């Protein structure tokens, strides 16, 4: 049964009647520590919010955290919803649109991903500049609500060029190297085959993961500006003799999180003041 966004927001407003955010962040596998930087925070479990559900994946705590980062009101979605868990696109739409309803204008999407470039190894950070959608569908399929966004939304600048430039400026200032590339999104939950990785490299992908793209499509449809950052958790299968596992994903996401914890507060500060 469809849950009206008004019901979702009414539940959130019981906990935070006047909170109004500027920036929202989706925290992927291993990135939950970023939410711990917020002050004066309010935390709501996903299961207490109509239209959402908890993730069953390790590294995803399923908490909506609202608070302040350098005195800037920020929303952290601590753990994401995955289509491979059987989550319907309807829940994913609610997941993203509620942050717009809470006032956010910018969405920062983080995720762990496998690198298709041998020179960009585990623990590195890559800024997403474009994507290829290999999910079996599009979250905007179905009737369109013109009050939310247009029937046909452009994804030409899905990962905002200005925000990407700002991220690189912050990385340079902090002496933290940032790479840049195209994210290809697959359904999962199985990891990719060596043949698929060879095909993805031919298509022009630089990293591969099981999320991000549906969230970004929904975000752009409702007018949110998007920045995407991936933590390289492994070299994709066929590019390294090391076996790809989810434990490895969490291990190297933790390494990358130490870098993100330095970058994100400065990036958020810059967004709030317009750099």
Active centre residues (catalytic): 29, 60, 82, 84-85, 112, 210-211, 234, 246
Instruction: Look up residue 188 and give its DSSP letter.
Output: -
Structure token pair of residue 116: 């298709």
Look-up of token digits 């009414």: 10
Please, how many CA atoms are within 13 Å of residue 187, restricted to the half-sphere of its CB? 11
Q: 186: which strand partners?
A: 134
Burial code (b: 16+ CB inside 10 Å, e: under 16) for 35-54 equals bebbeebeebebeebbbbbe
Distance CA 36, CA 42 (A): 11
Structure token pair of residue 241: 């003799």
């Amino acid at each position: 049964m469809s849950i009206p966004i008004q019901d979702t927001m009414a539940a959130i407003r019981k906990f935070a009647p006047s909170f109004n955010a500027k920036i929202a962040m989706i925290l992927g596998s291993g990135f939950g520590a970023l939410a711990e930087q917020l002050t004066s925070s309010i935390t709501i479990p996903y299961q207490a919010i109509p239209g959402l559900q908890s993730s069953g994946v390790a590294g995803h705590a399923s908490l909506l955290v609202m608070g302040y980062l350098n005195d800037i009101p920020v929303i952290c979605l601590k753990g994401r919803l995955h289509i491979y868990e059987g989550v319907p696109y309807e829940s994913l739409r609610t997941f993203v649109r509620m942050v717009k309803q809470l006032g956010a204008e910018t969405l920062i999407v983080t995720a762990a991903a496998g690198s298709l470039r041998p020179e960009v190894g585990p623990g590195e950070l890559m800024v997403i500049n474009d994507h290829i959608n290999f999910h079996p569908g599009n979250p905007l399929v179905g009737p369109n609500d013109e009050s939310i966004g247009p029937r046909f939304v452009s994804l030409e600048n899905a990962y905002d060029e200005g925000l990407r430039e700002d991220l690189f400026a912050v990385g340079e200032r902090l002496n933290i190297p940032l790479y840049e590339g195209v994210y290809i999104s697959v359904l999962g939950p199985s990891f990719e085959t060596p043949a698929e990785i060879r095909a993805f490299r031919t298509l022009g992908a630089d990293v591969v993961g099981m999320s991000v793209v549906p969230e970004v499509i929904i975000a752009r449809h409702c007018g949110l500006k998007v920045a995407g950052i991936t933590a390289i958790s492994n070299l994709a299968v066929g590019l390294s003799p090391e076996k790809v596992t989810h434990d490895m994903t969490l291990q190297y996401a933790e390494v990358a999180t130490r870098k993100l914890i330095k970058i994100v507060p400065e990036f958020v500060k810059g967004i709030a003041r317009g750099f």
